[in-house]
Amino acid sequence: MIAKAPHLSVRLWQDRVRGALLALSLWLAGETPAVAETITSARFTEPTTRYAHGVLGDNIEYSALELTVQSDTLTIRLPSDRVFEDLAPRLIDIDLDGKLEVIVVESHNRTGAQLSIYDRGGKKIAATPHIGTRFRWLAPIGAADLDGDGYVEIAYIDRPHLAKTLRIWRYRDGDLTEVATLPGLTNHRIGEDFITGGVRDCGTGPELIVVSADWQQIASVSYEDGWTTRMLSSFTHKAVKQTLDCLR
């Protein structure tokens, strides 16, 4: 029998999930829509040890995703060669139609992790390619209209312990297109049960907050006639929280 404290259902991204200091569990491109037939909460269920990567501190991942759509519950079960290798599902209105979708990290036992988007009917509507080999992971940062083009972009660190590369994908017309690749950045260390950083907007537009590849500096990535990386200050977890809160 697998014994583990259950993940919490979706709540504001600042809250703790799976011990998460700065994990993301609710990403908003705008205000949360109060409309009929939208996802109101999501959580991972049915823990499994069939994918023993342990990148998040243990060998337990999840084989099912439970969505609550108004008063109905829908369970998405993965085939035996896949798991949800993630902290918590993330809700966002990815197509800006007033209804929430869910973003998750999904890993295959031969080709590794990908970022997947599911709609309120449980259909996978888009996904990034798998990294390419087992036990290779990606760590989400956040999602918003990062460049002001009217479409939502999703950002993550590709292999935060190896490649340490930030990738940004735009969702448009039912598909994801990679729009930026920035090396030398990370947001996770092996065994940590949290992801460091996120998205902030201190009045001048959204910024991705991550860490330099050597874990020495807090970095900001934003769009200013092109993608720009700035080093903000020396890294500590306290300093990251203050940065996300626009206090430094």
213: left (phi > 0), else alpha (psi -120 to 50), else beta?
A: alpha
Supply 144's token pair: 């918003």
Q: 26-40, 46-60, 111-125, 194-208 — which is least confidently predicted? A: 26-40
Question: For residues 131 and 184, what is the distance between their CA atoms, to the nearest angstrom?
Answer: 18
Please count the other Cβ atoms lying within 10 Å of the Cβ belonging to residue 68.
16
pLDDT value at 19 more than 60: no
Q: CB neighbours (10 Å) of residue 65?
A: 24
Residue in the block written with tokens 């290779």: 136
CA–CA separation, 117 and 39 (whole Å): 13
Tokens describing residue 9: 């259902």
Q: Which amino acid is at 170?
A: R
Residue in the structure block whose two tokens are 């599902």 = 89
| Whole-prediction pTM | 0.88
What is residue 35's predicted lDDT score, i.e. its pLDDT?
52
> Which pLDDT band, with edges at 50, 70 and 90, does 16 fall under?
very low
pLDDT in tens, 73-87: 999 999 999 999 999
- Give the tens place of pLDDT for each residue, 180-192: 999 999 999 999 9
61-71 pLDDT per residue, tens: 999 999 999 88
Residue 64 tokens read as 């099912």
SS3 call for 12? coil
pLDDT band at 6 (very low <50, low <70, confident <90, very high): very low
pLDDT of residue 71: 86
The token pair that represents 17 in the structure block = 């999930």
φ and ψ of 244, to 5 deg: -65, -30
* Range in 20-34, 97-111, 212-226 the model is least confident about: 20-34
Q: In the beta sheet, which residues pair with residue 133?
A: none
Residues 6+ apart with CB under 8 A from 45: 62, 64, 65, 66, 75
Concatenated DSSP letters of 171-220: EETTEEEEEEEEESEE---TT-SS---EEEESSS-EEEEEEETTSSEEEE
If you average pLDDT over residues 42-57, what whole number do you get? 97
pLDDT digits (tens, 9 = 90+) for 111-153: 999 999 999 999 999 999 999 999 999 999 999 999 999 999 9
